[in-house]
């Protein structure tokens, strides 16, 4: 009987251990494994005995906290990615060892990075000691810093220099603590830098263009004041020279005002249906004395289907006048011939102004539409040119949504190709 009772007790004890300890323990173990694999679904367990009741409650609480934390991290990560992806500035985060931990797409595009820079050092990716030193200074002091850097980056047309305004700030886990990482923001200021350079060059050119005629006028005035008024021949020569330079200043001011206005297409151009051939005829009528003086002839091939276009007729007159005046001013041929042709193609009208003058050197052709650029600098001033005529042509044509370019073989004349859309609302 004793052995039987002992056997029954052992069975009951084993059943108790199995039900109260083993099964709940295995369930709890499976739940802990699930949590370790970042599966933070709610913990659901049948009622357990005294041994695991508190442990089960604690595990359920931990699972709920982990689920909330995971949701918070996911939301913050989504917000961070959304913010970074919407920024046009390049952004990176580097740790204290200057190893890059995070970048946005804009940074990769700005610098044409083929491989991800993550887990590489800042100096390895950008090869700029100034950036490295600034990063070290921010990590040391915790104070934000700003520097300007130029980088040679790969672009569609080859390598190009880009200028960046770079802001570096420390990321502190706690207030007044040393930074554990740094946020670096690259703002592309290449266009601003180029515009500033253009502004400085433009001001220098304008100052130079004004200084020359003013110096000439001042010189002749001093000559007259010093007693040349008694010399009639010298007086007449001085007055004529001063008049020529005053006229040159007036033309220069007119061209500068024109350029200033055509920078704003919407406030300048008034589009109406117009006849391009009639516009050309008005210009030729105005230039008739100049054509006769040069002994120049004009040949025109302008079909009827290339006449009508939506244009600002006054500005197109200026385009035609500048192109014809350019041919008259710089043509060297004894018998100057200007050939003007037009054709309509795919909703556009192309006009070509050809001359049999000396042509344009190849090295000058990419620059002739730049402001104040002159192929023959001395001759241009003597002929009354301001160096702005072709720049005005390009601005007006581009304001119409068109294009202009030159084709020239030195010694064999030049051909200026102007393409304008027939309508301003799209191809017709």
Residue 9 lies in a domain: no
The pLDDT score that the predictor gives to residue 24 is 62
Considering its fold, how many domains does the chain have in total? 4
- Residues 290, 218: one domain? no
Residue 1 lies in a domain: no
Q: Is residue 247 part of a domain?
A: yes
Q: Which residues of the chain have pLDDT under 50?
A: 16-19, 75, 266, 378-381, 383, 426-428
Among the three residues 33, 48, 82, which one is the final residue of a domain in this structure? 82
Note whether 155 and 71 are same-domain residues.
no
Q: Do 414 and 278 share a structural domain?
A: yes
Convert the chain into a string of H (helix), E (strand) and C (coil): CHHHHHHHHHHHHHHHHHHHHHHHHHHHHHHHHHHHCCCCCCCCCCCCCHHHHHHHHHHHHHHHHHHHHHHHHHHHHHHHHHHHHHCCCEEEEEECCCEEEEECHHHHHHHCCCCCCCCCEHHHHHCCHHHHHHHHHHHHHCCCEEEEEEEEEEECCEEEEEEEEEEEEEECCCCCCCCCEEEEEEEECHHHHHHHHHHHHHHHHHHHHHHHHHHHHHHHHHHHHCCHHHCHHHHHHHHHHHHHHHHHHHHHHHHHHHHHHHCCHHHHCCCEEEEHHHHHHHHHHHCHHHHHHHCCEEEEECCHHHCEEEECHHHHHHHHHHHHHHHHHHCCCCCCEEEEEEEEECCEEEEEEEECCCCCCCCCHHHCCCCCCCCCHHHHHHCCCCCCHHHHHHHHHHHCCCEEEEEECCCCCEEEEEEEECCCCCCC
CATH of the domain at 146: 3.30.450.20
Residues 251 and 275 in one domain: no
pLDDT of 250 reads 80
**Pair 321, 247 in one domain:** no
Q: Are residues 312 and 388 in the same domain?
A: yes
Per-residue pLDDT, 247: 80
On whether both 174 and 314 belong to a single domain, the answer is no
Full residue range of the structural domain in which residue 347 is found: 268-428
Q: What pLDDT score was predicted for residue 266?
A: 46
């Amino acid at each position: 009987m004793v052995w039987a009772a002992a056997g029954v007790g052992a069975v009951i004890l084993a059943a108790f251990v199995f039900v109260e300890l083993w099964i709940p323990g295995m369930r709890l173990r499976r739940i802990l494994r699930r949590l370790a694999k970042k599966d933070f679904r709610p913990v659901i367990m049948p009622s357990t005995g005294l041994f695991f009741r508190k442990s089960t409650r604690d595990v359920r609480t931990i699972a709920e906290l982990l689920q909330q934390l995971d949701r918070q991290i996911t939301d913050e990560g989504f917000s961070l990615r959304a913010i970074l992806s919407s920024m046009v500035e390049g952004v990176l985060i580097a740790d204290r060892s200057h190893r890059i931990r995070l970048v946005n797409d804009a940074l990769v595009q700005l610098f044409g990075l083929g491989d991800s820079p993550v887990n590489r050092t800042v100096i390895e990716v950008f090869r700029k000691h100034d950036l490295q030193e600034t990063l070290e200074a921010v990590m040391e002091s915790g104070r934000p810093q700003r520097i300007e850097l130029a980088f040679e980056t790969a672009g569609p047309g080859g390598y190009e220099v880009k200028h960046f305004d770079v802001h570096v700030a420390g990321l502190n886990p706690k207030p007044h603590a040393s930074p554990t990482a740094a946020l670096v923001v690259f703002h592309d200021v290449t266009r601003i830098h180029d515009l500033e350079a253009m502004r400085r060059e433009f001001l220098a050119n304008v100052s130079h263009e004004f200084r020359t005629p003013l110096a000439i006028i001042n010189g002749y005035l001093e000559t007259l004041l010093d007693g040349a008024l008694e010399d009639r021949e010298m007086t007449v020569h001085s007055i004529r020279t001063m008049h020529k330079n005053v006229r040159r200043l007036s033309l220069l001011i007119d061209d500068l005002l024109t350029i200033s206005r055509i920078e704003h297409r919407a406030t300048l151009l008034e589009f109406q249906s117009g006849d391009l051939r009639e516009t050309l005829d008005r210009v030729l009528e105005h230039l008739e004395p100049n054509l006769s003086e040069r002994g120049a002839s004009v040949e025109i091939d302008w079909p009827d289907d290339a006449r009508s276009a939506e244009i600002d007729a006054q500005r197109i007159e200026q385009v035609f006048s500048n192109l014809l005046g350019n041919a008259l001013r710089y043509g060297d041929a004894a018998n100057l011939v200007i050939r003007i042709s037009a054709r309509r193609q795919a909703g556009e009208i192309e006009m070509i102004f050809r001359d049999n003058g000396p042509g344009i050197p190849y090295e000058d052709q990419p620059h002739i539409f730049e402001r104040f650029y002159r192929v023959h600098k001395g001759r241009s001033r003597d002929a009354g040119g301001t160096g702005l005529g072709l720049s005005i042509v390009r601005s007006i044509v581009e304001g119409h949504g068109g294009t202009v370019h030159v084709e020239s073989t030195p010694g064999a004349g030049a051909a200026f190709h102007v393409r304008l859309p027939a309508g301003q609302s799209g191809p017709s």
